Structures are given as structure tokens and as C-alpha cells.
Amino acid sequence: MRRMAFAAIAALLSLLVLSRTGALFPVHAEPMPENTRKLLEKSLSVAELDREIERISGLKTQTQKQIGDSEQKLARQEIAIAAQREKAGRVLRSYYMGYKDFWLAALLNANSLPDLMNVWDKMGMIMQSDQSKMNDYESEYKKLKKGYEQLRQDKSDLVAVERDLVEQRERITALQREVDEALASSGDADLLRKLMDEMNAYWNNVGIYEVKKHFRALAEAMHNLPDFVQKTPGILVTSGLKAKLTITDAQLNEFLRSQDSRFNDFAFKFGDGLLTMKGDNGSISVLIQGRYEIVDEPENAILFHVDKLVFNGLELPDTTRKDLEREFDLGFYPQKLVKFVKAKSVSMEDGKLVVQLAVGG
């Protein structure tokens, strides 16, 4: 641990020198010891988990408010449906208690065509009113039923959110304990803590902003990918009711660099079922690695899941990856390419992405 402390001193001095000159957290500094790197990763994960707990707490508050609003709304609907139920009940009772016979007798006893038409018109008006009462009751009942279904879903969501909140709190407690133990045995806890504070401040003030800029650029570029596929010969090959889409590393790099200049510092590679994006612009280095998955709901799509995210040599936790997935859509939608087609399979190997497509289901 003493060696880790000495290395941390050197890293911190480099950081402080760079901070005075306005430079960013060093990317090309000497490689730090593995113990120091793991400690910084854990410290960053603690900060990111804390941010996730804040997000979940906000979601819990929002869900609780939705439940309260729904319960008040359902109480009002129950009053409304009680009135409609009484009206509908009167209609049904009138039919079962001989009201139909009354109108049948009135029709049979009409002495002239005008009398017959008058009775018929009154029957029509009353039947229309009765039907309206029945329709109102049915409509209110459906609203009430839908409201209770939404309430049950909200309560189920709240249970899941509370469970996630407990899990993340337990996780951050365990991780913070590991950080504290590592600091206590380091021999220079104050210096390492300073290094962690500087690194966390850099991530919160610069890092997350830069990472989101890259994800936003990727998401915007993916919207234009169908046009690139259609204009590039050989990418899409059709055969009857089937089609195959094949994009190589070189084609993807060409496309993305044409969309945004920041991708000039990035390299994209397909292989072993993964898409790896790696870039270094001299100030920051980012590695994004993930896989594609086909989904059919709410629509057929090839969605991208981030399995690994490394920023300036430090791997970020799963909560950060999921947060970026929620905010930025890096998916591909086949029906924006050709109507009525669906993706059936997707694979990444030997420097290319292959998607099998078929018309209809």
C-alpha cells in the first residue's frame, strides 16, 4: 500500500499542475498502480450510485404522487358511476316491470296514423334516452376499471422502485466500506482522498458532459443510418421475402465520421458479438462496448445495450450505463429502411454486422 501512496502522490501532483494550467484530468499520464486505479473506480462508483439513488428517490416520490392522484380520481369516478348505475338500474327495472307492455298497448290502441306516429316518436325519444343512460354507465365503468388497473400498475412499480432503492443503498454502503478500508490501510489517506475528490469533481464537471456529448452524437447519427444504407450499394441484399443487411467496420466508421467530426478520433469495430467504440482526443479517452438485441415491443427494433463504459481508464458502474441507455437511443429501426420488414437475427463477427430481415411476421 505504501507504493500505492507514492504513486498517488505523483498522480495528484500531475493533476494539480494540470489544473493550474486549465488542462483536463490527464489521459496520458504514467499508468497508475492497479490498486490506485481500483480505488478511484470504487470512489467514482460510489458517486454514481449516489446519483442513481437520488434518481430513484425522485421516481419514488413521483410514483407515490401518481398513486395519490389516482386514488382521489377513482373516488370521484366511483361517485359518478354510482349515479350512472342508478339511472341504468331504473331503465332495466322499467323493462322487467312491464314498461314494454305499456308501449306495446299504446301502439295497438292508436286510432289514427298521427296517433301512431306520435306514440312511436315518444318511444324513440325514451329509448334513445335509455340507451344514453346505459352508454354513460358503460363508459364510466370502463374508466373506473382502467383507473384501477393503472393504480395496481403504479403500486407494483412503487414496490419495484423501493426494492431497487434498498438494493442500491446496500450496494453503496458495501462499496463505501471497501473504499474506507483501502484508505485506512494506505498510509496516506488524506492524499488519496484528495485525489478521489479531484477525480470525482472532474467527472461531474467535465466527464459526464463529454460522455453525453458522444452518446448524443451517436444517437443523432443512428437516425440517419437508414439513408446511408439505402445509398450504399451492397449493404442491403434482398431475396424474395427475405433480406440481409451487412455493414462492415469501414462502412460504419465512414458513415459516423461523415455525421460528426468528433468521430474522427474514434474507431468502431465489430467482433465476438460486440460493438467496440474506442476514442482518444488527447483530453479524454472513452471506450464503449456493447451488444445489439432484437425486440418486438412496442415496435420491431435492434436496440443497443452498453455492457462496458470506460472513461480515462476508469470503468463506470452499470447504473451509469443504464442511465445513458435511458437517455439516448442508439437503436436501429428496420421499418425506417423498408416498410413491413422485421429484424429476425443480428450478429457481429469478423469485422461486420449482419442483420437478417423478413417481410411481415
Indicate whether 179 pLDDT > 50.
yes
Helix ranges (H only) for the chain are 2-20, 34-96, 99-108, 113-184, 189-202, 208-223, 225-231, 249-259, 318-327
What does the longest C-alpha to C-alpha distance in the chain come to? 115
Q: Within a 13 Å sphere around the CA of 354, how many CA atoms are in the beta-carbon half?
A: 11
Query: Average pLDDT, stretch 134-139?
Result: 68
Query: Average pLDDT, stretch 314-324?
Result: 91
- Cβ burial of 34 (10 Å; 0-12, 13-18, 19+) is exposed
| Cβ-based neighbours of 118, under 8 Å, separated by 6 or more | 110
The 3-state secondary structure of 186-216 reads: CCCHHHHHHHHHHHHHHHHHHHHHHHHHHHH
Residue 87: per-residue pLDDT: 62
Indicate whether 77 pLDDT > 80.
no
Residue 216: per-residue pLDDT: 92
Residue 352: per-residue pLDDT: 92
Q: Grade residue 11 by pLDDT with cuts at 50, 70 and 90.
A: very low
Q: pLDDT tens digit string along 240-257?
A: 888 899 999 999 999 999
Query: Average pLDDT, stretch 72-95?
Result: 66
Q: Grade residue 78 by pLDDT with cuts at 50, 70 and 90.
A: confident
Q: Grade residue 66 by pLDDT with cuts at 50, 70 and 90.
A: confident
Q: What is the pTM for the complete model shown?
A: 0.69
Indicate whether 153 pLDDT > 70.
yes
Q: Could you give the percent of the chain with pLDDT greater than 70?
A: 74
**Contact, 85 vs 137, CB < 8 A?**
yes
**Using CA of residue 167, residue 169, residue 172, residue 173, what is the dihedral sign?**
negative
Residue 277: per-residue pLDDT: 92
Residue 183: per-residue pLDDT: 86
Q: Grade residue 325 by pLDDT with cuts at 50, 70 and 90.
A: very high
| 3-class state of residue 284 by DSSP | coil
Q: Grade residue 202 by pLDDT with cuts at 50, 70 and 90.
A: confident
| 3-class state of residue 141 by DSSP | helix
Q: pLDDT tens digit string along 14-56?
A: 444 344 333 344 444 456 677 888 888 888 888 888 888 888 8
| Cβ-based neighbours of 16, under 8 Å, separated by 6 or more | 198
Query: Average pLDDT, stretch 97-123?
Result: 54
Query: Average pLDDT, stretch 96-104?
Result: 51
- List Cα–Cα distances, 52 to 10, 58, 197, in angstroms: 32, 10, 19
What angle, 0 to 180 degrees and rounded to 10, lies between the N-to-C axes of helices 208-223 and 249-259?
Answer: 110
User: What angle is formed at CA 303 by the lines to CA 299 and CA 304, rounded to 5 degrees?
Assistant: 170
Indicate whether 289 pLDDT > 70.
yes
Q: Grade residue 101 by pLDDT with cuts at 50, 70 and 90.
A: low
Residue 17: per-residue pLDDT: 37
Residue 19: per-residue pLDDT: 41
